[in-house]
Amino acid sequence: MSELLVGVTGGIAAYKTADLVSKLSQRGDRVTVVMTANATQFVGAATFAALSGRPVAQDLFDASYPLGAHIELARRAKLLCIAPASANFMAQAAQGLSPDLLT
């Protein structure tokens, strides 16, 4: 059983990530999903919350993470998977830009 962090960016392939989260959860992994605002235009956060059994992280300043969501999520995760990794996300990551929790 692993602690996994799945990042979802805005792209039509985001619907396939729902299947990934479902399979990981059914396998017994503890999955937390982080979504960009654009990702929610393709698959709703409620879908990922239902599949993972956990709240979806979207807000950098979420009060449920006292030390900051970016710190607490990174500390507990053994693996980060970005699926899909949109071109916009890749460009932001390459340039060190972080307009949202996932980047």
- CA distance from start to end of the chain: 26
Q: pLDDT, tens digit, for every residue of 59-100? A: 988 888 888 888 999 999 999 999 999 999 999 999 999 899
pLDDT average, residue stretch 4-13: 95
* pLDDT attached to residue 64: 86
Q: What is the pLDDT of residue 63?
A: 86
Coil vs helix vs strand at 44: coil
Residues 6+ apart with CB under 8 A from 35: 7, 8, 45, 48, 56, 57, 58, 102
Q: What are phi and psi of 33, to 5 degrees?
A: -105, 135
Total-model pTM:
0.93
Residue 1 has pLDDT above 80, yes or no: no
What are the residues whose beta carbons fall under 8 Å from the beta carbon of 53, sequence distance 6 or more?
Answer: 25
pLDDT digits (tens, 9 = 90+) for 21-69: 999 999 999 999 999 999 999 999 999 999 999 999 999 888 888 888 8
